[in-house]
Amino acid sequence: MTRPAYTHDCDRCRHLGTFVGTRGADVDAYVCPRVLSEREPALILRTSSSGPDYASYTPSWLAAILEGEPQHKQPDLAVLAALYVIWTLDPHH
């Protein structure tokens, strides 16, 4: 497994790997077993070591997107693919 490119301060998160994002910068992917407000796992995509520089996606958010709820921002296909892999193929989430 690759080492994370950025500092991440949640000890519950498990680093899944680092990939090059659409803008050419490294992106660290993590799975967090429980998001406090949602009480479900989340995919975390970190884009720097600065605290707020990340995006978080939960299964319920993905379900809302797939059901076409208009209040949810449409993700790019890379995010949907990563979510699919994590929640269908990763037995440790």
Look up the domain containing 84 and give its range: 14-89
Nearest Cα neighbor of 33 from 11, 9, 2 is: 11
In a domain, 22, yes or no: yes
Query: Does residue 4 lie in a domain region?
Result: no
- Inside any domain, residue 7: no
pLDDT above 70: percentage of residues in the chain: 63
Q: Are 93 and 58 in contact (CB under 8 A)?
A: no
pTM of the full predicted structure?
A: 0.69
pLDDT at 61: 76
Tally the domains of the chain: 1
* Contacts with 44 (C-beta within 8 Å, 6 or more apart), sequence order: 8, 10, 13, 29, 30, 31, 32, 54, 55, 56
Mean pLDDT by 10 residues, the chain (93 residues): 87 86 83 72 88 83 70 59 58 47
- Within a domain: 9: no
